[in-house]
Structures are given as structure tokens and as C-alpha cells.
Structure 1
Amino acid sequence: MSETQGESSGAVQGGASEDVSRVTTEVLDDAVARAVEDAVASPECGAVVTFRGVVRDVDGGRGVTRLDYEAHPDATAVIRRCVAAVATETGLRVAAVHRYGVLGIGDVALVASAAAGHRREAFEACSLLVERIKAEVPIWKRQHFDDGVSEWVGL
């Protein structure tokens, strides 16, 4: 699989020049989060809400040491469809990037942003986008626990 799966950049909903939404092995650092926010920001938007999904060290009371994410080759196309659908449903500007590969505790797995005239709409659109991505994008997660056991989540 390539570092960034799927097709090249296309138009973002809401009029931004490029769609940053993708699935990638790239580390999701502050620069990536800023790029996602910049893709949705606009002078008429008084609120930009960004969600960062961070790998935590516990799940269900068990210690987690790392996560392995695997992505289908069409994952970028699917995440872009989710972004387009949420943008159409809400009328707002949204974008997201999901990482795959081996992620350690504290690594960012997902950055999603939404912009709106007011905060409530931006929060709601960002939440809708995250839930849509979790439900539809073909990315699978394997958790590794501190007792040496691992398991696939959400299959």
C-alpha cells in the first residue's frame, strides 16, 4: 500500500481549493491538524472545531501498549465520501485525516474539523463526521494489551 491511499486531492466541500481528507501513514502532528483546520476555515465561519482521536493506554480496564490500524485500498475514497456527505447534510465545511499503521500511546489516529458561523453547528457537524468515519471507513484496529494478548476491535 502507498503512504497515502486512494486518489489525489480533489475539491473540498464548502469551497476550499483542495481536499486534504485522506487516509495515510503520515504522523498526524500539529501541522497536519492545522492543514485540516485551514481547509475548512473561512472568513464567514466564527467557529472551527477540531477533534483529535488519541491512542489511550487503557481500554475496558486493560492496559494497552499500542494499536495497529489496517486500511482498505479504497479508504481514502470512502473517507472523502463521508466528508462530502456530512458537508451536504449540514451545509458546512468539514475535512478529516485518518492514520493507519502502528500507533503508540499518545499518537493521533484521527483529525476531523468542521467550520460554521456558530459553535453549536460546528461541534455537531464535527461529531457527525467522526461517527460517520468510524461507521463507514474500512479501517480495522488491533489492540495490543500489556499482558501480551491482542484483539481486533469492531470487526
Structure 2
Amino acid sequence: MKISVQTEDFDVNSVLAELRGRCAHVGAVACFLGTVRDMNDARDVAVLTLEHYPGMTERALERVATEAKSRWPVAGVTIVHRYGALFPSDQIVLVAVASAHRHDALDACAFMMDYLKTHAPFWKKETDSSGATCWVDARESDAVARARWFADFDPPAVEPLVE
């Protein structure tokens, strides 16, 4: 498992090659790459600023990766998440999973992204071209997507980090 929270951009090919090198015996690598959009809810986005709480963020990402590894037979997980000021088309997040079979890799990757969109301790602020800013809340559709992973669990296996 490799978790990185950073301001620097990352090279997707290098990250995937490193994951494949750690897990050479697997048959599938699934990944999700999130980028900054130039529009959100019909509002232009000039800058997306992500803030986080160091230490707590890494622990939350490790917790969701550990939970994914407990649910699916995955050989490796890498999560890279950026913070700071990001611009349209900039990379924000990469979640990559190596597994023997594609379905396990795809499901584990989707599970982690659904968690990150709703419960990872990142705060997002959008600035439009006029300089007006607004904080971004999690979408209801993201909460619904996350809930599907917990329909059979009581209590949820991964709960929001509260300290």
C-alpha cells in the first residue's frame, strides 16, 4: 500500500509502473484519475483550492485502502491525492489497484473513490474568473454511490474519521 498527499503533480505512468513492479504477479490494474473541471454546477472554475489536515488525511486514506484490501483480494493499492491551488485540467487524485482479476480491481477502485468523494478530510474551495469563491459540499449523488458499499453492513466497516 502506498499513500501520498502532496502539492506536486504526479506522473500517472510512473505511479502505475511502480505499482505493477510491486505486484508483478497480478493480471489486472484498475485506476481512476480525477482532474479539475473548468465548470461546476454551471459556474466557471478558475482555481480549485484543496485544504487538508496533515496526519488525519493520510490515516483516513490508509483506512479506506485497508478496508478495500479486506473486502477484495487485491495485491496492491496506491492513492495519490493533491492539495493546494489547482487549475482546470490539473490532476487531483489517482487511485490504483492491482489484483489477479479485473472485477476485484475495478470494485476496490470504485469503493475507494466513493469513500474519498464523501468522507476524506479534504475541503474544497472554488474561485471563479471574477475572483468570487465558494466552498464545495459533497454531492448527494456521491453519498448515494458510497452507500451502496455499506448496504449489508451494520455498522459501516469504514466510518468517517472523528478525533
Superposition TM-score tier, normalisation by shorter sequence: 0.7 to 0.9
Shift of 1:103: 0.6
- Of residues 20, 28, 38, the one that matches 1:57 is 38
Code of the residue aligned with 2:30 in structure 1: it is: V
Secondary structure (helix, strand or coil) at the match of 2:45 reads strand
TM-score by length of 1: 0.77
* Mapping of residues 37-116 of structure 1, within 5 Å: 37-38=19-20, 41-43=23-25, 45-73=26-54, 74-92=56-74, 93-116=76-99
Q: Is the 8 A contact 1:68 1:103 kept in 2?
A: yes
Q: Is the 8 A contact 2:45 2:129 kept in 1?
A: yes
% identical equivalent positions: 29
Code of the residue aligned with 2:42 in structure 1: it is: G
Point out where structure 2 has 5 or more consecutive residues left out of the alignment. Answer: 139-163
Code of the residue aligned with 1:23 in structure 2: it is: V
Point out where structure 1 has 5 or more consecutive residues left out of the alignment. Answer: 1-11, 13-19
Code of the residue aligned with 1:140 in structure 2: it is: W
CA deviation profile, 1:59-113 (whole Å, cap 9, x unmatched) = 1122111100001122112111111111112231322111101111111110101
Aligned residues: 136
C-alpha RMSD over aligned residues = 2.0
Q: Is the 8 A contact 1:51 1:113 kept in 2?
A: yes
TM-score by length of 2: 0.74
Code of the residue aligned with 2:71 in structure 1: it is: E
* Residues 1:29 and 2:11 aligned together: yes
